[in-house]
Amino acid sequence: MTYLSDVVALTRKDLLLELRAKETLPSMLLFVLAALTIFHFALPRGAGHTAALGLLWSALIFTALLGLTRAFVAEREQGMFDALVLAPCDRSAIWLAKSLAVLAFLAAAEVVALPAFAAFFSGIGGRTVVAVALADLGIAAVGTLFGAMAVAGRARELLLPLLFLPMAIPIVVGGVGGYLWFLVLYDAIFVVLAWATFEYVVAEV
């Protein structure tokens, strides 16, 4: 019960900070809408639905990266990351809380992005919506782990994309192809790995 309480408290802290600052979510919304608008005019007429899906997944991955870049900003700017790690709670609770907050930001951005994509590119299938939901779990889990690894680095804005983008390639492949089983497998493997290794990652930060 204590573990659950810690996760709820930490998640609530991150969400409240965002509600007050209004920095991460508006940036993500503006970016994904701008990207989809550019793709709408850049995609040649008559291009297939698969090409359009590829552009959607590209927009979602880079939007997620924008949110992940800011996941640990509050702790970094206030010099509180060490205090957060030394708090009397299981370190994996920090990872889970951050992942849930990132997941909430992704879901909020996609509530706007998916209808925009449907309007620009003539509809969106239910399978794609399910694939996006599954991909969000993997993105939040892996991205939060790499965000914690990058937060202490000098070139943190460069390090996070270098770590995260190669791991996002399977997500794009699974999403564009509609391979839901592949996304489920990706989530199952990397959620467990991220949860199990976070404690050791932050111990080295």
Domain hosting 54: range is 2-204
- Give helix 2-21 / helix 24-42 axis angle, nearest 10°: 70
pTM: 0.89
In the structure encoding, which two tokens stand for residue 121, read together? 């590119």
pLDDT at 111 over 90: yes
**pLDDT tens digits, residue range 58-93?**
999 999 999 898 887 776 766 666 666 666 667 788
How would residue 204 be classed by pLDDT, with cut points 50, 70 and 90? low
Structural domain count, the chain: 1
DSSP string, 19-55: HHH--HHHHHHHHHHHHHHHHHHHSPTT--HHHHHHH
How would residue 198 be classed by pLDDT, with cut points 50, 70 and 90? confident
CA 70, CA 58: separation in Å to the nearest integer? 19
pLDDT at 33 over 70: yes
